[in-house]
Chains A and B, each alone.
Chain A
Amino acid sequence: MAASKCTRLTGSLVKQLLDSVDSVLFDCDGVIWRGDQAIPGASDVINLLKKNGKRVFFVTNNSTKTRKMYADKLAMLGFNASEEEVFGTAYCSAMYLKTVPKIQGKVYLIGSNAMRQEIENVGIQTIGVGPDPISGAQTDWANVSLDPEVKAVVVGFDEHFSYMKLNKALQYLCNPSCLFVGTNTDTRLPLEGGKAVPGTGCLVRAVETAAQRPADVVGKPSNFMFDCVAKQFSLDPARSLMVGDRLDTDIMLGTNCGLKTLLTLTGVSTVAEAEDHLKSGCPNRTGMVPDYYVDTIAELLPALQG
């Protein structure tokens, strides 16, 4: 396979690319929507792809919504999509716990209600969601009562993150057989309205530092997200396209899994960054070079409408 060359996708190349794939995987934030605003033309792109017989999937590192909540948001913004086509890290973390380490026991969860729902949906009990402020004296914290049935600590986005939660996670992780899973390492979480706050990556780093061990990360660029989709829908990577706005997560995932990759410029990464990676020749960085780029996914429309 030729090395990715970061070519502008234009003219007849668009149809050529679309004809060469059966499935298209889209990241969400910065690709099909920004906060609660759809990218203009995005819903037409998705709906026309489906009309043209392509399968469409949504692959996001955002752990704050269940598949159902994502399906509702997609519907509200005019996208013709169903729950089964959405792969967020809340759902994928639950699938990971169930199918890879096959957890028998409970999870100490630093995360949202959406994560709790998805994990409990696969039959694994969780504890820890919600506010948990510090109480008692410092000598009490190491002796905080631990649930002996906890077999894993899972860290996702949590606006209620506190020292007490960090402490409890550390106490559980002092047992070397306790698993440590993180949903993703993104440093910022995009919000409705276009603002951003510190991302899950910050919380995972805090726990990794205290516990002095790395988390098993489920989200992009880890292969697991793609494997999750591929297993359920029998995808052929060579006939699949990953569309994303971040070189270090979306494009990296696409490259690692053998997909074609398309960078859209309505989000985080720039062409200059991509070309920098290309020029570096560094094996760690060439995986972040997309095959193609567009200013916005709306540029796919003419080929789809033709």
Chain B
Amino acid sequence: MAGKARGCHKIRGAQIRDLLDSKHNILFDCDGVIWNGEIVVAGAPEVVTLLKQQGKRVFFVTNNCTRPRENYVQKFSRLGFTDVAEEEIFSSAYCSAAYLRDVAKVQGKVFVIGCHGVQKELQDAGVPTVEDVSDAPDVSIYNFPLEPDVKAVLVGYDERFTFMKLAKACCYLRNSECLFLATDPDPWHPLRGGRITPGSGSLTAALETASSRKATVIGKPSRFMYECIASQFDLDPERSLMIGDRLETDILFGANCGLDTMLTLTGVSTLEEAQEYRDSEAPEKKDFVPDYVVDTIGDFLEALED
């Protein structure tokens, strides 16, 4: 909502209850919100169950494209969430495949720089991709074959990223009719123990520099993931709440989609960072300010258990 001053208010107990009473759809980011790596955020499974018991709809909106949705379902189950369905999970890989199939309606193949999680979602969506095979021995960065029917390039997190993939993608992108998509803009992803690993954003930056083109980014903070959910479920933005741990992706995403936003402090961003954005003079920084702040979504339990 343009010009709305967001308060960055820390809330507990009855305040949380009142907020949740006014919302029908709760959108959760995953990493740093409901789990950190393989460690569940205490109380998160119970919170999800209680929200659903109270008739709320719950969605999971994650930029993490490293696994397909069916593997996410397994992870939810492994970490103690008892009733999360595949349809409720929206990852940037799933949404990128949906975009290529339903929005861009790509006729032709997609050249993918991406891990198994990305490849599988495209396969499941029926989007044809250039086969990811090893090159013949005489192929090098100075001399490589190109597929004839490539209509889009998709870049996402790829632990098998090589210079060769960058060179091939750059060639395909010389055709201005070839689409250029990125799963998400995250420069790095957190791993357990406070360490980090390079994210999709760093690979996208390499390809944008090589091609002198800007990628269309599917993941948060772009609106597309929200539009993907809204195309399958009826969502009223006024009655929806976005909960995340990263101001520059989750909170900005919420603002871009006209949702109320909540920052939880079990992940990347800190309260101080949120307050800095709030106190900044620059108007564009206002969208990084959450409406509400909680220490952990575990704090919802006392509000929901009444």
Contact = CB atoms under 8 A, between A and B. Distances in A.
A159 B141 contact: yes
Given A141-B197, A167-B197, A191 B210 contact: no
Task: Tell me if B's interface is mostly helix, strand, loop or mixed.
Answer: mixed
B159 A142 contact: no
Contacts of A133: 160
Contacts of A208: 205
A158 interface: yes
Contacts of B188: 170, 210, 212
Interface in A191-206: 191-193, 195, 197-199, 201-203, 205-206
A142 B195 contact: yes
Contacts of B198: 163, 166-167, 170, 206, 210
- Residue of A142, A158, A188, A193 with most chain B CB atoms under a 10 A cut-off: A142
A209 interface: yes
Nearest to B194: A142
A187 B212 contact: yes
Interface string A155-166: 000111111101
Given A209-B201, A210-B188, A198 B210 contact: yes
A100 to B, nearest CB: 25
Given A202-B210, A210-B198, A197 B161 contact: no
Interface of A: 133-134, 138-139, 141-143, 158-164, 166-167, 170-171, 174, 187-188, 191-193, 195, 197-199, 201-203, 205-210, 212
Interface of B: 37, 66, 140-142, 158-163, 166-167, 170, 187-188, 191-193, 195-199, 201-203, 205-210, 212
20 contacts: A138-B159, A138-B197, A142-B195, A160-B163, A161-B162, A163-B159, A170-B198, A187-B212, A191-B142, A198-B170, A198-B209, A198-B210, A199-B210, A202-B206, A202-B210, A205-B206, A206-B203, A208-B205, A209-B202, A210-B198
